[in-house]
Structure 1
Amino acid sequence: MLFIAFYIWGGDTIDMYRYGAEWTGTDISENEIDEAKRLAKENNMNINFFTAAAESTNLDSNYFDVITACQCFVYFDKSKVLPEISGMLKHNGRFLILFISEDIYIWCSSSVLVGISF
């Protein structure tokens, strides 16, 4: 399975790495990505990290099985990020919005992402 995590500070991507799969982590902050790379290297984890805004990642279409957004979705431009995420997900892919402080987990199928209003 292929996963991408937005705005990671390294934390959720590195924490979830132990469950397997191939992980990609993105953040708009180059400093956060540098720290995530350092933590991954320190723990011998093969994770692809790069700096990008969630609204314009330039990643391949129909590529990811799961996309997560942890503690960050409220900051995104929904009119741009939802089509971006929908395009990156494989058929029947899942988008997981995490609000850890409130323990709220919302799953959305790729087929309905563009029609969601937040």
Structure 2
Amino acid sequence: MTDATTPKGPDALRAFGDNVAFGRTATDYATHRAGFPQSFFDLVATRGFATAPARALDIGTGTGTLARGLARIGLDVTGLDPSEELMAQATRLDAEEGVKATYIKGAAESLPVGDAQFDLVTAGQCWHWFDRPRAAAETARVLRPGGRCLIAHFDWLPLPGNVVAATEALILAYNPVWAGAHGTGLYPDWLTDLATAGFTGIETASFDISQPYSQDAWRGRIRASAGVAASLPEAEVEAFDSDLADLLDKDFPEAPLQVPHRVWLATGVKKAA
């Protein structure tokens, strides 16, 4: 378990990210990791944060869960990620769903696109992995005046005695330096990032939902997390997965598991010229 000397917060997450390779989890990530719910995209559309036919860039796109949702509401979407393995899964999932997005390899801190090219830049479940000041500055660069940055999260919630808290404790037993435990799904530092980069009209929105998972799907979701298959040796991943299966059978046998999650976003607008 962690102790009082263990680094916490966004800086600890980014430092831990140096040892994370999500490409190793691409299959589990695509199969088991629930994407942003439709209610998130409904909120984005209702608030006017994303409207067709806007051109959007989704940085840290991973398997394209946010890119696909934006494409479904009529946006022209480009997804960007450093992992070709994850983007290959994104392309496959797009084809299965019948939506289209373009994917390019790159980093949030040095976007391989020209100035003022996009109406919207999104970052779903990934801002903590970036050099945030550089990513915010690059985001501002590639947005047109009046364009919007939208940083979003869909986080499980560890509550006393629930399956998330028990799962996090098991992850920490195998990976004590994992920095992703005990989250609240709220990220006030991201507001400072936006303000420092010159964004205005900064606001947030959030709501909680229950996300259903079968036991097998929850195991796959956890294998795909940063603290397990993306950072542990394969033999330890197998041992962890076996222990998690035993824990679920013993303490959380209900089907499906109802896993509490929080949807949270922060958004701001690039000043008009």
**TM-score relative to the length of structure 2:** 0.39
Q: How does 1:1-118 map to 2 (within 5 A)?
A: 1-8=54-61, 9-101=63-155, 102-111=262-271
CA deviations on 1:64-104 (whole Å, 9 max, x unpaired) are 11111011111110231111100000101000010122321
Q: Which has the larger radius of gyration?
A: 2
Partner of residue 206, structure 2:
none
**3-state SS in 1 of match to 2:151:** strand
The aligned amino acid for 1:109 is V
Structure in which a larger fraction of residues adopt strand: 1
Q: CA deviation at 1:44?
A: 3.2
CA RMSD of aligned residues (A): 1.3
Structure in which a larger fraction of residues adopt helix: 2
State the identity as a percent.
Answer: 27
Q: Matched residue pairs, number?
A: 111
CA distance, structure 2, for counterparts of residue 86 and residue 7 of structure 1: 16
CA distance, structure 2, for counterparts of residue 44 and residue 18 of structure 1: 9
Q: CA deviation at 1:33?
A: 0.8
**TM-score relative to the length of structure 1:** 0.86
The aligned amino acid for 1:19 is I
Moved over 6 A (4+): none
CA distance, structure 2, for counterparts of residue 44 and residue 103 of structure 1: 25
Q: CA deviation at 1:16?
A: 2.3
CA distance, structure 2, for counterparts of residue 44 and residue 30 of structure 1: 21
Q: CA deviation at 1:13?
A: 0.9
**3-state SS in 2 of match to 1:42:** helix
CA distance, structure 2, for counterparts of residue 86 and residue 19 of structure 1: 23
Q: CA deviation at 1:43?
A: 3.0
Partner of residue 204, structure 2:
none
Partner of residue 116, structure 1:
none
The aligned amino acid for 1:25 is G
CA distance, structure 1, for counterparts of residue 154 and residue 147 of structure 2: 22
